[in-house]
């Protein structure tokens, strides 16, 4: 089990593999982001996308799936997340793309008001099969501290 004390600033990891299908892109768009360039070949061809592309929110959901699968196979004392500092869609995601994640811990600190938990910030990068960056997020995670009675000065 990974705890706050085990997290190292600068540590990096690569994980995940997500194959984007046309059916899933269309299904997500119909339900949550029904813009023409996510649903209609002709309309999409007239945009800068050139063809049907996945919603940016769908790309975030695919990234979340890979992150949760990684956390499930690499157990950690996670306590959720207070949110993202930023989300940037860098390049369109298309049906047929295969996505993967890269993450880097960029900072961490103990909570002063809740000494049983720590907070860490990660840069999450999602790349396609050509190693092109399609999504970048700054994520904040909450994680349990192994020894809440330890001094706060880590």
The band of 149, judged by pLDDT with boundaries at 50, 70 and 90, is confident
Return mean pLDDT, the chain. 95
pLDDT tens string 63-80? 999 999 998 888 889 899
The band of 147, judged by pLDDT with boundaries at 50, 70 and 90, is confident
Is 10 part of any domain? yes
The band of 154, judged by pLDDT with boundaries at 50, 70 and 90, is low
pLDDT tens string 135-145? 999 999 999 99
Domain count, the chain: 1
Is 149 part of any domain? no
Alpha helices for the chain (secondary structure H):
22-32, 36-39, 41-45, 56-73
CA-based R_g, the chain, Å: 18
User: Which pair of structure tokens corresponds to residue 121?
Assistant: 């910030």
Is 151 part of any domain? no
- Position 150 scores a pLDDT of 82
Is 75 part of any domain? yes
CATH code of 51's domain: 3.10.129.10
Assess whether pLDDT exceeds 70 at residue 19: yes
Q: Which domain holds residue 27?
A: 4-144
């Amino acid at each position: 089990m990974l705890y706050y004390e085990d997290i190292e600033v600068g540590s990096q990891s690569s994980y995940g593999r997500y194959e984007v299908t046309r059916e899933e892109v269309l299904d997500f768009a119909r339900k949550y982001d029904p813009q023409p360039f996510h649903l209609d070949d002709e309309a999409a061809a007239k945009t800068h996308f050139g063809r049907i592309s996945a919603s940016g929110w769908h790309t975030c959901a695919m990234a979340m799936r890979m992150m949760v699968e990684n956390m499930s196979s690499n157990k950690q004392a996670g306590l959720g997340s207070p949110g993202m500092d930023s989300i940037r869609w860098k390049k369109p995601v298309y049906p047929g793309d295969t996505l993967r994640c890269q993450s880097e811990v960029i900072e961490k600190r103990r909570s002063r008001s809740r000494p049983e938990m720590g907070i860490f910030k990660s840069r999450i990068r999602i790349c396609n099969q050509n190693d092109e960056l399609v999504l970048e997020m700054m994520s904040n995670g909450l994680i349990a501290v192994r020894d809440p009675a330890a001094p706060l000065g880590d």
